[in-house]
Amino acid sequence: MSKLITINMNRKPIYDIMIENDFSQLAEKLKTLGYEGVKATIVTDKLVGPIYADTIKDAVKDVFSDVFVYAFDAGEQNKNMDTVQAILADMVENKMNRHDLVIALGGGVVGDVAGFCASIFMRGIDVIQIPTSLLAQVDSSIGGKTGVDFLQYKNMVGAFKMPKLVYINTNTLSTLDDRQFYAGMGEVLKYGLIMDASFYEWLLSKLYEIHDKDAATLEEMIEHCCICKQRIVERDPEEKGDRALLNFGHTIGHAIEKYKNLTLMHGECVALGCVAAAFISWKKEKLSMEEYYEIRDMFVPFNLPISIDDIDDEEIMKLIKSDKKTDQNGIKFILLKKVGKAYIDKTLTDEEILNGIKEIHFVEDGE
């Protein structure tokens, strides 16, 4: 069953999100968008490329005059300027021009890198997103944020670049490994917590179907997340206000991700950050104790961590403070008023944040 969501800005349609279970609708849509006869570069990584690049090439063979594939080594450590430079060089070599198209095929890393390349190549050419990880399908492919890590900072260099299309084939999730899939569930649960209590309840009620990767359930879940993200990005496309709510769990999460040198997955760190933020929300008397424990324990059946050993609380705190989102006005922290309602808090003291970190820091009892 196909689903279509249209992202509007100032009441004008900007791009469609198509949710499908194969690639059969892609060529027709690209023709409708006016790409017949242009050249395209599929930017992907070396894990996703071998599985899907040929299928896409085949699906669009009647659309483009030429299709090139550029695959870089998979992983966050390659989300950097060297990769950008190599992709741009390849595009120059292939004589791509201003009317041509970049196709981002992969997870969030590919989407961010390819989108950024499209935003700067010849002052900007079109890009479409074909997200293949759960995280990319529910979050990163939508909303037009692109960029790479720079110096020691995550997403330090980038641009807003709206895609012309987001084409989700939910069947690509069948080749994603389980740990990646559940990491994506961290972001899915986040939507429920920050903006939709009934979605949160629905997710809990569909636990078995989600574990089974039941097609209809995954499709409904992905569609719902896309609608949540749509609501946020339409209201605040450039993160001047509400869009920051999506960073729930990310302040402490990013610091742990960095401390652990990327050995934990982004979604896993987000889950830990959500638990810490929910704990702080309880201590600020926004959530009840029962609500806090319920939120915390909900991550467990989705194979996500709720505590971590082997961290240095003070070091995590330092990393939070060195994050670029921290300005002189204090750390912009996202807390919960209740399940389904988040808010921005800039008044937290270091001690309150530290207590949140201590809550998730598992210390084994021993002599």
Identify whether the C-beta of residue 303 lies closer than 8 Å to the C-beta of residue 283.
Answer: no
- What minimum distance in Å lies between the beta carbon of 40 and ligand NAD? 20
Nearer to ligand NAD, 112 or 359 (CB): 112
Identify whether the C-beta of residue 221 lies closer than 8 Å to the C-beta of residue 173.
Answer: no
Nearer to ligand NAD, 273 or 287 (CB): 273
- What minimum distance in Å lies between the beta carbon of 159 and ligand NAD? 11
Q: Which residue is nearest to ligand NAD (CB)?
A: 108
Nearer to ligand NAD, 70 or 282 (CB): 70
> Rounded to whole angstroms, how far apart are CA atoms 9 and 53?
32
- What minimum distance in Å lies between the beta carbon of 245 and ligand NAD? 13
8-state DSSP, 174: G
Residue 26: C-alpha distances to residues 44, 165, 213, 220 (Å): 17, 10, 24, 20
- What minimum distance in Å lies between the beta carbon of 47 and ligand NAD? 3
For residue 150, the cross-strand partners are 153
Nearer to ligand NAD, 171 or 355 (CB): 171
Angle between helices 313-322 and 350-360 (to 10 degrees): 130
Residue 241: C-alpha distances to residues 13, 187, 213, 262, 332 (Å): 22, 20, 35, 29, 11
8-state DSSP, 340: T
| Max CA pair span of the chain | 72
Structure token digits, residue 52? 């899907």
> Rounded to whole angstroms, how far apart are CA atoms 44 and 145?
18
Residue among 179, 174, 104, 176 at smallest CA distance from 142: 104
- What minimum distance in Å lies between the beta carbon of 251 and ligand NAD? 14
For residue 81, the cross-strand partners are none
> Rounded to whole angstroms, how far apart are CA atoms 7 and 338?
28
Q: In angstroms, how far is the first alpha carbon of the chain from the final one?
A: 58
- What minimum distance in Å lies between the beta carbon of 333 and ligand NAD? 18
Nearer to ligand NAD, 142 or 287 (CB): 142
Nearer to ligand NAD, 31 or 231 (CB): 231
- What minimum distance in Å lies between the beta carbon of 256 and ligand NAD? 14
Nearer to ligand NAD, 107 or 356 (CB): 107
SS3 content of the chain, % helix, strand, coil (to 5): 50, 20, 30
Structure token digits, residue 280? 């702080």
Residue ranges binding ligand NAD (CB under 6 A): 45, 47-48, 51, 74-76, 79, 106-110, 112, 132-133, 135-136, 139-140, 143, 145, 155, 172, 175-176, 180, 266
Residue among 185, 105, 95, 82 at smallest CA distance from 138: 185
Residue among 251, 250, 240, 239 at smallest CA distance from 321: 251
- What minimum distance in Å lies between the beta carbon of 113 and ligand NAD? 9
- What minimum distance in Å lies between the beta carbon of 293 and ligand NAD? 27
- What minimum distance in Å lies between the beta carbon of 282 and ligand NAD? 26
Identify whether the C-beta of residue 109 lies closer than 8 Å to the C-beta of residue 79.
Answer: yes
Nearer to ligand NAD, 131 or 356 (CB): 131
